[in-house]
C-alpha cells in the first residue's frame, strides 16, 4: 500500500478501533496555532501531536532547529495516546503534508510501518463537507516499543565527508581529460526553495546558502496544486537523472520539509534514501563547515 490515503479511504475507516488519526497542524512562528486549531475542530477521533513539543526535542547548540525527539520519549508519548505497535496511524496537517510527513518518517524510524498520510489537507477535508468535531477523544494508554532504525539517518560527519568528496569529484571532472569513473558517492539533495538554496533569500536561519555539492529539488514540486502527491510516473520524471542505484541523503532547513521529499523519492522507486535530520540549521552550527551559494 502507498504511503498516502484518500479522504474516501479514511472516511470508510473513520471509527476503526485499530486506527489512530493524528492531527499535526503547526505554524512556524505561531507555536500555539496548531493546537488551537485542533481544539476548535478536527477530524473525528483525532489526537494532536505538536511539531516542536512532541515531534522534536529541545534546541541545543547542534542538531538544528527541530532536533529529532528522543525515541524513548516519543514512544512514551505515543503510548499515552493509546498507540501501540499494532496501531494503524493516519496523519494530516494543513501545511501541504510537511508535518504529517515528519510523523510518517519518525514512526518508520521507530520501526513502525503502519503509518500513512492523508493526501489532502484538513482544509480540503472540511471544505468538501467531510465530518469535523471539537470533541477530544478519551484515550486508553497502550504500549509502544521503539525499534530504532539507525540506517535511516545520516549524521553531520558523514554529510561533511560526502560533500568534500563530491566537490573534489566535480573538480576532477572539470579539470581532467580522464574517462575513468569516480567512486560512487551518495547524492546530497537540498529540499528547500531555490532562492534559499542559492542563498538569495534566507529568513529562517542565520546563514544563507547550501551544503557544497548538493542538488536542489524543492519539496513542494513533488505535489499537485491541491497538495496531493504526484503519481509514481510523474515523480520519476521529476527526479530524472538521479541514479536509483546510488544512495541519497536528503536535507532541508531543519529536517521537516525533507521528509516529504524522502516519501516522494521512495514513491518514485528510490530504495536507499536517508535523512540528514539536523539539516542546514545543524550544518551552519559548525563554524568550519563550508557554504556554497548560487546554482552549484
* Per-residue pLDDT at 226: 81
Confidence of residue 181 (pLDDT cuts 50, 70, 90): very low
- List, for residues 92-141, the tens digit of each pLDDT value: 999 999 999 999 999 999 999 999 999 989 999 999 999 999 999 999 99
Contacts of 280 (CB under 8 A, 6+ apart): 64, 190, 192, 205, 210, 211, 251, 252, 253, 254
The CATH class of 153-283 is alpha beta
End-to-end CA, the chain: 37
Give the length of the chain.
Answer: 296
Name the pTM for this structure.
0.94
What is the average per-residue pLDDT within 183-192? 91
Confidence of residue 179 (pLDDT cuts 50, 70, 90): very low
Confidence check: pLDDT of 180 > 80:
no
Q: Where are the domains of the chain?
A: 4-149, 153-283
* Per-residue pLDDT at 2: 84
* Per-residue pLDDT at 1: 61
- List, for residues 47-86, the tens digit of each pLDDT value: 999 999 999 999 999 999 999 999 999 999 999 999 999 9
C-alpha cell at 227: 497538495
Confidence check: pLDDT of 171 > 90:
no
Residue recorded with cell 479514511: 10
* Per-residue pLDDT at 102: 98
Distance of CA 210 to the CA centre of its chain: 18
Using alpha carbons only, what angle is made at residue 87 by residues 81 and 92, rounded to the nearest 5 degrees? 70
* Per-residue pLDDT at 176: 45
Under 8 Å between Cβ of 67 and 59:
yes
68, 101, 252, 258: the catalytic one is 252
Provide the angle, in degrees to the nearest 10, between the axes of the packed helices 258-267 and 98-109.
70
> 184-213 burial string, b = 16+ CB within 10 Å, else e?
ebbbbbbbbbeebbbeeebeebeebbbbbb
Confidence check: pLDDT of 178 > 90:
no
Helices (H), 176-219: 194-198
- List, for residues 220-270, the tens digit of each pLDDT value: 999 998 888 899 999 999 999 899 999 999 999 999 999 999 999 999 999
Confidence check: pLDDT of 192 > 90:
yes
Question: Taking the domain 4-149, which CATH number applies?
Answer: 3.40.250.10
Q: Quick one: DSSP state of residue 293? A: -
Give the strands of the sheet with 115-118, arranged side by side: 4-5, 115-118, 88-92, 19-23, 47-48
Average pLDDT, the chain: 93
Rounded to an integer, what distance in angstroms lies between the CA atom of residue 159 and that of residue 18? 39
- List, for residues 25-52, the tens digit of each pLDDT value: 999 889 999 999 999 999 999 999 999 9
Rounded to an integer, what distance in angstroms lies between the CA atom of residue 123 and that of residue 117? 15
Residues paired with residue 223 on neighbouring β-strands, in sequence order: 229
Under 8 Å between Cβ of 250 and 276:
yes
Residues paired with residue 27 on neighbouring β-strands, in sequence order: 30
Burial of residue 54 (CB within 10 Å: 0-12, 13-18, 19+) is buried
- Annotated catalytic residue 24: no
Confidence of residue 183 (pLDDT cuts 50, 70, 90): low
Confidence of residue 174 (pLDDT cuts 50, 70, 90): very low
* Per-residue pLDDT at 258: 98
* Per-residue pLDDT at 177: 46
Amino acid at each position: 500500500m502507498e504511503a498516502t490515503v484518500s479522504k474516501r479511504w479514511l472516511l470508510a475507516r473513520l471509527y476503526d478501533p485499530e486506527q489512530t488519526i493524528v492531527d499535526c497542524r503547526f505554524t512556524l512562528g505561531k507555536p500555539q496555532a496548531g493546537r488551537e486549531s485542533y481544539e476548535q475542530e478536527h477530524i473525528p477521533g483525532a489526537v494532536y501531536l505538536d511539531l516542536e513539543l512532541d515531534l522534536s526535542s529541545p534546541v541545543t547548540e547542534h542538531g538544528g532547529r527541530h532536533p529529532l525527539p528522543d525515541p524513548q520519549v516519543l514512544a512514551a508519548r505515543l503510548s499515552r495516546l493509546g498507540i501501540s505497535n499494532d496501531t494503524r496511524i493516519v496523519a494530516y496537517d494543513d501545511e501541504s503534508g510537511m508535518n504529517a510527513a515528519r510523523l510518517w518518517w519518525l514512526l518508520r524510524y521507530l520501526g513502525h510501518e503502519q503509518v500513512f498520510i492523508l493526501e489532502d489537507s484538513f482544509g480540503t477535508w472540511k471544505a468538501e463537507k467531510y465530518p469535523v468535531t471539537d470533541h477530544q477523544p478519551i484515550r486508553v494508554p497502550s504500549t509502544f516499543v521503539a525499534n530504532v532504525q539507525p540506517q535511516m539517518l545520516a549524521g553531520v560527519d558523514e554529510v561533511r565527508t560526502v560533500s568534500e568528496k563530491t566537490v573534489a569529484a566535480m573538480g576532477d571532472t572539470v579539470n581532467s581529460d580522464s574517462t575513468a569513473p569516480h567512486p560512487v558517492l551518495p547524492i546530497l539533495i537540498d529540499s528547500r526553495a531555490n532562492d534559499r538554496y542559492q542563498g538569495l533569500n534566507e529568513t529562517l536561519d542565520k546563514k544563507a546558502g547550501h551544503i557544497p555539492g548538493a542538488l536542489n529539488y524543492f519539496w513542494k514540486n513533488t505535489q499537485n496544486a491541491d497538495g496531493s502527491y504526484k503519481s509514481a510516473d510523474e515523480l520519476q520524471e521529476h527526479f530524472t537523472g538521479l541514479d536509483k542505484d546510488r544512495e541519497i541523503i536528503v536535507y532541508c532547513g531543519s529536517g521537516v520539509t525533507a521528509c516529504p521529499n524522502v516519501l516522494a523519492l521512495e514513491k518514485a522507486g528510490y530504495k536507499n534514501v536517508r535523512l540528514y535530520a539536523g539539516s542546514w540549521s545543524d550544518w551552519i552550527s559548525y563554524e568550519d563547515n563550508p557554504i556554497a551559494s548560487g546554482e552549484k
